[in-house]
Structure 1
Amino acid sequence: MSLVGADALTLSDFRKRVGPDDRIDYIIEALINSNPIMDDITWKEGNLLTGNKTTVRTSRPTPSIRRINRGVKHSKSTTEQVTDTCIILEDRSQVDIEAIALASDKEAFRRSEDAAFVAGFTDSVADNMFYGDTAADPDTFNGLAVRYDKYGGTDKTKPSYQVVAGGTANVGAHNTSCYFVGWGTHATTGIYPKNTVAGLKQRDLGEMTVKDADGLDYQALVTLFNWKVGLAVQDIRANAVVTNIDTTALPSTAAAKLALIEKFVKAKNRIRNLQARDKKVVLYVSDDMYDWFESYLLDKNNVHVTRQELMNDVPRIYFSGIEIKKCDAISNAEMPRSQA
C-alpha cells in the first residue's frame, strides 16, 4: 500500500491516513521518539522500482519585449534529470522465549527489545541523509554533505551557491556544518520505491531456532525489520549549509559571535521562497552548536535567536523563526569543504 496521491507526507501524516493500527502506531511513535528528524522528513513514493527520477529545472525562460509589427525571440527553460536510488536496510530482533516467559507483560517486554532495533534504523537513516556517499559505498545514497560539498559558488543553479563558509576551517577533522533543510514535495524529501510502503516495516516471524554468539541453538521470538529508503533533492535552493565551523574554536567574543551569526543570515537568505507553505524548513545542528546557539540567547546584541516556552514540553529555540534542532547524525569531525 502506498501513500494516497503524489504529495510527500510525514510519518505522522501517514499514521493518520492508514487508520487505527496498534502495530503501525507503535513503529511510527518509536521512530519519532528515537530521532526528532523523523518527525520532519516528508516521504514520497518514487517513480522507479529502485527509487526516483527527478527533473530539476536549471534555468527559466526569459520573455522578450513585444513591439508593434515586430516579433520576439523564442526562449526555453533548461532541465537536467537526477536519479536517486533507494537502499534496503534490514535487521532481526531475537528475544529469548525464556526471557519473555519471565516478564509480567510479555508484549511490552518484547516491544521494549524491538525498540532498540527501531532506534538503530533511525540512526542509520539519519546518518545517510547527511553523510551517505555512493563513491565511498555504492550500497548507500548520497546525503546532503555530498550534494552540497563545496562552498562559495556564484552560480545560483549550483549547490555550492547554497553553502556558506562559517569561518576559517580547522585543517584537521574538527569541523562541523549546520544544515537548513526544506522538507516538502518539491523541495527535499525522503523517498521509497514505486509500489512499496513508506517507513519501517515490521514482520513477526514467531518462534524460531536461532544461534547465539558461540553458534549454539536456542528458541526465540523473531521480528524482521525492513526499510527501503532514499533521498531526493528536487530544488537545490530549498536547502542551505553553513560549513567549516571549527569546533575547537567556537566564537566566544561578541564580534566573533556576530560574524558567525551573519553567516547564518546569509545562508538562510539563499533559500528560495523561504516563506512558501509547501515546505517546512528546519535548522539541524550538532550538540556543540546547539549549546552555542542557546548560549547566544544571553548576548545583549542578539536579535536573531529566540526561545519559545511550551506547556508540558521543553523550550525550543529558533533562528529567525526557523526551529533549531539537535541531530546526533551531524558530526563534529568533518574535514574542511573546499571552495567552488
Structure 2
Amino acid sequence: MTSALTSTALTLADWSKRLDPDGKVPKIAELLNQTNEILEDCVHIEGNLPTGHRFTLRTGLPTVYYRTLNQGVPTSKSTTTQVDEACGILEARSHIDVELAKLNGNSAAFRLSEDSGFLEAMNQTWVNGLFYGNPGTDPRQVLGLSTRYSSLSAGNAQNIIDAGGSGSDNTSIWLVGWGEDTVACPFPKGSMAGLMHQDLGEETVYDSNNYGYQALRTLYQWKTGLMVKDWRYAVRIANVDVSDLVGQTGTQASTASTAIIKAMSRAIDRIPFPGRCKLAFYANRTVYSGLKVAALDKSNYALGIQDAITQFGNAYQMTTFLGIPLRKVDQISNAETRVT
C-alpha cells in the first residue's frame, strides 16, 4: 500500500534546503533526522499567526436534495468553526570553555559534537510533546496526540482502537496521515521551520561560585506545534499490553482479535482517503522490535523489510506494514494508563 502527497507539503529537510543554501541548517536538520524518525514523514507548514496557525474546520455539510422538473429546492450551507493551534518554543543554550575548544584544534567541529547532546535533548522533548503534550497541565506545551485521542466515548473515538490491555504496562501504536489538510506541524508566521542555530560568540560566563571565564556560547531554538486539521487522519491503537505482547499471550496471542497485526490493519481502514496524505506507523522500541522480528518470517506477508533512502540520501533498512513505514519512537511509553 502506498500513499501520495502533493509537492507543496514540505518536510523539515525540504524547508531547510530552501531556507539556508550554505548547508549549515541542513546539517543540523540531518542530525535531527538521525535521532528522530518522525521527521522523515512529518509535514511542516508556515502558520498564519505569529503564535501558530488558525484554520477553518467544517463541522457540518450542506443539505442536498433531489428535484423534479419545474420544481426548485431550498438553499443550504455548510457550518464551520475556526480553530487556533498554538506553537511552543523549545530553547537550549550551550557554553563551552574557550580553552577546551582550543585543545581540540578544530573548534567548530568540536562545538558541534558537544552540542549534539542538546540536539538530542530537544529532539526527545519535541517528540514527547507531540504525543503527550498537555497545555492543561503545562501551558507552554503543545496539545499532543494522546491528549486529543484519550477517550473511547469522545467524538473521535472511532479512531481509537482498543487492543484489550487492562494492566499498568500499556502502550500505543499510532498511524498518522501527514499532509497540509490533515495532520501537520506548523511554525509561527515569519519564522523558520526546524531548529535554529545561533552562534553567540565568545562571552564571559560565570560558574556556580560566580567566578568568570571565557566561553563560546550557542543558542538553539525550535518553534513548532501540532495541527490536527482532520481528526480522521490519526488513529491510536491504545491499550496494547506490553507483557502480553512480549509473551504472545492473552490479548496479544496470534489468535486474539486484539492482536496488534489485526489492529494495525483496522487502523488503515479508518483513514478515509490514504492518497491525500503520507502515512506512517509509530511504535516504541518494544513493539517495533517485535514487529521487525515478525517481518523476518517469510509466511508473514503483511510485514516487510525493504531498502530505503532518507531525505538526505542515506541508505537504511525500513520496516513496513502493508507498504506503510513503521518508525521507532522511544518516547512512546510502556506505562500508559488504560484508555477508557
Aligned-pair distance for 1:300?
A: 7.1
Q: How does 1:1-340 map to 2 (within 5 A)?
A: 7-18=8-19, 20-151=21-152, 158-170=155-167, 172=168, 174-250=169-245, 251-252=248-249, 253-256=253-256, 259-276=259-276, 279-297=277-295, 302-309=300-307, 313-338=315-340
- In structure 2, the residue matched to 1:3 is none
Structure 2 counterpart SS, 1:141: coil
1:251-293 deviation per Cα after TM superposition (whole angstroms, max 9, x unaligned) = 34431387432222111110120123xx211100011111221
Aligned-pair distance for 1:298?
A: 5.0
Letter of the 1:336 partner, please give it.
Answer: R
Contact 1:38 1:122 in 2 (8 A): no
CA pair 310-189 structure 1, distance change in 2 beyond 3 A: closer
Contact 2:13 2:26 in 1 (8 A): no
CA pair 326-102 structure 1, distance change in 2 beyond 3 A: same
Structure 2 counterpart SS, 1:53: strand
Percent identity over the alignment?
38
1:197-216 deviation per Cα after TM superposition (whole angstroms, max 9, x unaligned) = 21211111111111224433
> Distance between the aligned counterparts of 1:228 and 1:65, measured in 2?
50
TM-score (norm. length: structure 2): 0.89
Structure 2 counterpart SS, 1:14: helix
CA pair 223-159 structure 1, distance change in 2 beyond 3 A: same
CA pair 32-310 structure 1, distance change in 2 beyond 3 A: closer
> Distance between the aligned counterparts of 2:39 and 2:217, measured in 1?
25
Letter of the 1:200 partner, please give it.
Answer: L
Q: Matched residue pairs, number?
A: 325
Aligned-pair distance for 1:310?
A: 5.1
> Distance between the aligned counterparts of 2:262 and 2:285, measured in 1?
20
1:142-163 deviation per Cα after TM superposition (whole angstroms, max 9, x unaligned) = 110011112366xxxx322111
Aligned-pair distance for 1:7?
A: 4.3
- In structure 1, the residue matched to 2:4 is none
Aligned-pair distance for 1:236?
A: 0.8
TM-score (norm. length: structure 1): 0.89
Segment of structure 1 superposing worse, 244-253 or 189-198: 244-253
Q: Which runs of 5+ in 1 are unaligned?
A: 1-5
Letter of the 1:130 partner, please give it.
Answer: F
Contact 1:151 1:162 in 2 (8 A): no
> Distance between the aligned counterparts of 1:282 and 1:109, measured in 2?
35
